[in-house]
Amino acid sequence: MHVLIIGGSGRTGKLTISEFLRQGHQVTALVRNPDSMDDCPDVNVFEGTPTNIENVRDVFKIQTPDAVVVTLSAPRASDSPFAAPISPPRLMADSNANVVSVMKEFNVPKIVILQAFGVGASWDNMPCLMKGLMSKSNMIYQYNDHNHTDREVRQSGVTYVMVRPSRLVETDAMGLREWPNDGKGVPLMGSASRKSVASFLVNVAVQTKWDNSCPVITN
Protein backbone atom coordinates (compact mmCIF):
# COMPACT_ATOMS: atom_id res chain seq x y z
CA MET A 1 0.00 0.00 0.00
CA HIS A 2 1.08 3.58 -0.68
CA VAL A 3 0.03 5.97 2.10
CA LEU A 4 0.15 9.75 2.36
CA ILE A 5 0.80 11.00 5.90
CA ILE A 6 -0.39 14.48 6.86
CA GLY A 7 1.28 15.52 10.11
CA GLY A 8 4.16 13.08 9.69
CA SER A 9 6.76 15.25 11.40
CA GLY A 10 5.02 15.06 14.78
CA ARG A 11 5.61 12.49 17.50
CA THR A 12 2.73 10.18 16.61
CA GLY A 13 3.19 10.82 12.91
CA LYS A 14 6.79 9.59 12.90
CA LEU A 15 5.86 6.49 14.86
CA THR A 16 3.09 5.81 12.35
CA ILE A 17 5.50 6.23 9.45
CA SER A 18 7.96 3.82 11.07
CA GLU A 19 5.24 1.19 11.47
CA PHE A 20 4.08 1.53 7.86
CA LEU A 21 7.65 1.13 6.65
CA ARG A 22 8.27 -1.82 8.97
CA GLN A 23 5.31 -3.57 7.36
CA GLY A 24 6.67 -2.92 3.87
CA HIS A 25 4.36 -0.11 2.77
CA GLN A 26 5.36 2.97 0.77
CA VAL A 27 5.03 6.31 2.57
CA THR A 28 4.80 9.89 1.34
CA ALA A 29 4.67 12.80 3.80
CA LEU A 30 3.51 16.37 3.23
CA VAL A 31 5.34 18.61 5.71
CA ARG A 32 6.03 22.30 6.14
CA ASN A 33 9.71 21.74 6.93
CA PRO A 34 11.40 18.90 5.01
CA ASP A 35 14.43 19.13 7.34
CA SER A 36 12.23 17.73 10.11
CA MET A 37 12.15 14.45 8.19
CA ASP A 38 15.93 13.93 7.93
CA ASP A 39 15.61 10.92 10.24
CA CYS A 40 13.13 9.27 7.82
CA PRO A 41 15.26 8.53 4.74
CA ASP A 42 12.85 5.99 3.25
CA VAL A 43 9.95 8.46 3.03
CA ASN A 44 8.98 10.50 -0.04
CA VAL A 45 8.88 14.02 1.42
CA PHE A 46 6.96 16.91 -0.14
CA GLU A 47 7.20 20.46 1.17
CA GLY A 48 3.88 22.17 1.74
CA THR A 49 0.87 22.47 3.99
CA PRO A 50 -2.54 20.78 3.89
CA THR A 51 -4.20 24.17 4.36
CA ASN A 52 -3.12 24.91 0.78
CA ILE A 53 -5.16 22.69 -1.52
CA GLU A 54 -2.68 23.13 -4.37
CA ASN A 55 0.08 21.66 -2.19
CA VAL A 56 -2.13 18.63 -1.55
CA ARG A 57 -3.03 18.33 -5.22
CA ASP A 58 0.63 18.46 -6.28
CA VAL A 59 1.43 15.49 -4.06
CA PHE A 60 -1.43 13.44 -5.49
CA LYS A 61 -0.34 14.23 -9.06
CA ILE A 62 3.11 12.75 -8.45
CA GLN A 63 2.50 10.19 -5.68
CA THR A 64 -1.21 9.30 -5.69
CA PRO A 65 -1.80 7.29 -2.50
CA ASP A 66 -4.10 4.37 -1.79
CA ALA A 67 -5.11 5.96 1.51
CA VAL A 68 -4.41 9.08 3.59
CA VAL A 69 -3.56 9.09 7.30
CA VAL A 70 -3.86 12.41 9.16
CA THR A 71 -2.09 12.76 12.50
CA LEU A 72 -2.16 16.56 12.37
CA SER A 73 -2.75 18.47 15.60
CA ALA A 74 -3.11 22.19 16.19
CA PRO A 75 0.14 23.87 17.35
CA ARG A 76 0.13 25.37 20.85
CA ALA A 77 2.25 27.99 22.60
CA SER A 78 4.01 25.21 24.55
CA ASP A 79 3.96 21.41 24.90
CA SER A 80 1.28 21.66 27.57
CA PRO A 81 -2.08 20.36 26.24
CA PHE A 82 -3.70 23.35 27.94
CA ALA A 83 -1.46 26.00 26.35
CA ALA A 84 -3.03 28.66 24.16
CA PRO A 85 -3.55 27.68 20.52
CA ILE A 86 -1.39 29.51 17.97
CA SER A 87 -3.08 28.20 14.84
CA PRO A 88 -6.30 29.12 13.00
CA PRO A 89 -9.44 27.77 14.71
CA ARG A 90 -10.21 25.44 11.76
CA LEU A 91 -6.69 24.22 11.02
CA MET A 92 -7.62 20.52 11.18
CA ALA A 93 -11.07 20.92 9.65
CA ASP A 94 -9.80 22.95 6.70
CA SER A 95 -6.81 20.65 6.18
CA ASN A 96 -9.01 17.57 6.12
CA ALA A 97 -11.51 19.31 3.84
CA ASN A 98 -8.72 19.98 1.32
CA VAL A 99 -7.47 16.40 1.55
CA VAL A 100 -10.95 14.95 1.08
CA SER A 101 -11.61 17.21 -1.89
CA VAL A 102 -8.43 16.06 -3.64
CA MET A 103 -9.09 12.43 -2.69
CA LYS A 104 -12.33 12.65 -4.66
CA GLU A 105 -10.51 14.11 -7.68
CA PHE A 106 -8.06 11.21 -7.73
CA ASN A 107 -10.46 8.46 -6.59
CA VAL A 108 -8.54 7.76 -3.37
CA PRO A 109 -11.09 5.94 -1.21
CA LYS A 110 -10.02 6.18 2.41
CA ILE A 111 -8.90 8.64 5.07
CA VAL A 112 -7.80 7.79 8.62
CA ILE A 113 -7.82 10.68 11.11
CA LEU A 114 -6.28 10.76 14.58
CA GLN A 115 -8.62 12.58 16.97
CA ALA A 116 -9.26 12.14 20.71
CA PHE A 117 -11.75 10.60 23.10
CA GLY A 118 -14.46 13.21 23.64
CA VAL A 119 -14.80 14.23 20.00
CA GLY A 120 -18.20 13.82 18.38
CA ALA A 121 -20.60 11.33 19.95
CA SER A 122 -17.96 10.19 22.45
CA TRP A 123 -18.27 13.51 24.35
CA ASP A 124 -21.28 12.27 26.31
CA ASN A 125 -19.23 9.34 27.62
CA MET A 126 -16.29 11.33 28.97
CA PRO A 127 -16.12 11.43 32.78
CA CYS A 128 -17.74 14.62 34.10
CA LEU A 129 -14.45 15.84 35.56
CA MET A 130 -12.75 15.60 32.15
CA LYS A 131 -15.64 17.31 30.37
CA GLY A 132 -15.45 20.18 32.83
CA LEU A 133 -11.70 20.44 32.42
CA MET A 134 -11.91 20.47 28.63
CA SER A 135 -14.78 22.96 28.55
CA LYS A 136 -12.98 25.47 30.76
CA SER A 137 -9.51 25.21 29.20
CA ASN A 138 -7.84 25.96 25.88
CA MET A 139 -8.37 22.30 24.93
CA ILE A 140 -11.93 23.15 23.90
CA TYR A 141 -10.66 24.97 20.82
CA GLN A 142 -8.98 21.82 19.56
CA TYR A 143 -12.09 19.78 20.33
CA ASN A 144 -14.21 22.25 18.38
CA ASP A 145 -11.86 21.88 15.41
CA HIS A 146 -12.07 18.09 15.63
CA ASN A 147 -15.86 18.29 15.80
CA HIS A 148 -16.00 20.34 12.61
CA THR A 149 -13.81 17.65 11.01
CA ASP A 150 -16.10 14.88 12.29
CA ARG A 151 -19.21 16.43 10.76
CA GLU A 152 -17.66 17.44 7.46
CA VAL A 153 -15.77 14.22 6.73
CA ARG A 154 -18.90 12.17 7.47
CA GLN A 155 -20.83 14.29 4.99
CA SER A 156 -18.14 14.02 2.30
CA GLY A 157 -18.97 10.47 1.25
CA VAL A 158 -15.41 9.12 1.45
CA THR A 159 -14.58 6.09 3.56
CA TYR A 160 -13.23 7.26 6.90
CA VAL A 161 -11.92 6.01 10.22
CA MET A 162 -11.61 8.55 13.04
CA VAL A 163 -9.47 7.08 15.81
CA ARG A 164 -10.12 8.44 19.32
CA PRO A 165 -7.54 7.46 21.94
CA SER A 166 -7.99 8.58 25.51
CA ARG A 167 -5.02 10.66 26.67
CA LEU A 168 -1.86 10.01 24.64
CA VAL A 169 1.13 9.08 26.81
CA GLU A 170 4.83 8.40 26.25
CA THR A 171 5.07 4.77 27.35
CA ASP A 172 5.92 1.46 25.65
CA ALA A 173 2.50 -0.12 26.29
CA MET A 174 1.16 -1.88 23.19
CA GLY A 175 -1.98 -3.82 24.11
CA LEU A 176 -5.13 -1.92 23.16
CA ARG A 177 -8.75 -2.17 24.20
CA GLU A 178 -11.54 -0.89 21.98
CA TRP A 179 -14.50 0.64 23.79
CA PRO A 180 -17.89 0.18 22.10
CA ASN A 181 -20.77 2.65 22.26
CA ASP A 182 -18.54 5.69 21.67
CA GLY A 183 -16.28 4.98 24.61
CA LYS A 184 -18.88 4.29 27.28
CA GLY A 185 -17.06 3.14 30.40
CA VAL A 186 -13.59 4.55 29.67
CA PRO A 187 -12.04 5.25 33.09
CA LEU A 188 -11.00 8.72 34.22
CA MET A 189 -7.29 7.97 33.82
CA GLY A 190 -7.60 5.83 30.70
CA SER A 191 -4.67 6.38 28.35
CA ALA A 192 -3.01 5.06 25.20
CA SER A 193 0.67 5.10 24.31
CA ARG A 194 1.68 6.83 21.10
CA LYS A 195 3.36 3.62 19.95
CA SER A 196 0.19 1.58 20.31
CA VAL A 197 -1.89 4.28 18.63
CA ALA A 198 0.53 4.42 15.70
CA SER A 199 0.23 0.67 15.27
CA PHE A 200 -3.56 0.92 15.39
CA LEU A 201 -3.59 3.68 12.76
CA VAL A 202 -1.69 1.39 10.41
CA ASN A 203 -4.08 -1.48 11.09
CA VAL A 204 -7.18 0.57 10.36
CA ALA A 205 -5.60 1.97 7.19
CA VAL A 206 -4.78 -1.43 5.66
CA GLN A 207 -7.85 -3.32 6.91
CA THR A 208 -11.56 -2.69 6.34
CA LYS A 209 -12.83 -3.79 9.76
CA TRP A 210 -13.10 -0.24 11.11
CA ASP A 211 -14.26 1.53 7.94
CA ASN A 212 -16.79 4.31 8.59
CA SER A 213 -16.40 4.06 12.35
CA CYS A 214 -14.84 6.07 15.18
CA PRO A 215 -13.15 3.60 17.55
CA VAL A 216 -12.31 4.78 21.07
CA ILE A 217 -9.16 3.07 22.37
CA THR A 218 -7.04 2.80 25.51
CA ASN A 219 -4.21 0.53 26.64
The per-residue pLDDT for range 70-107, each reduced to its tens digit, is: 998 877 666 666 667 778 899 999 999 999 999 999 99
The per-residue pLDDT for range 13-40, each reduced to its tens digit, is: 999 999 999 999 999 999 999 999 998 8
Question: What does pLDDT average to over the chain?
Answer: 94
pLDDT for 10 beyond 80: yes
Q: What is the 3-state secondary structure (H, E, C) of the chain?
A: CEEEEECCCCHHHHHHHHHHHHCCCEEEEEECCHHHHCCCCCCEEEECCCCCHHHHHHHHHHCCCCEEEECCCCCECCCCCCCCECCCCCHHHHHHHHHHHHHHHHCCCEEEEECCCCCHHHHHHCCHHHHHHHHCCCHHHHHHHHHHHHHHHHHHCCEEEEEEECCEECCCCCCCEEEHHHHCCCCCCCCEEHHHHHHHHHHHHHCCCCCCECCEEEC
Q: What is the mean pLDDT of residues 165-177?
A: 95
Answer whether 0.85 is exceeded by the pTM. Answer: yes
The per-residue pLDDT for range 107-160, each reduced to its tens digit, is: 999 999 999 999 999 999 999 888 888 888 888 999 999 999 999 999 999 999
Domains of the chain plus CATH, in order, are 2-218 (3.40.50.720)
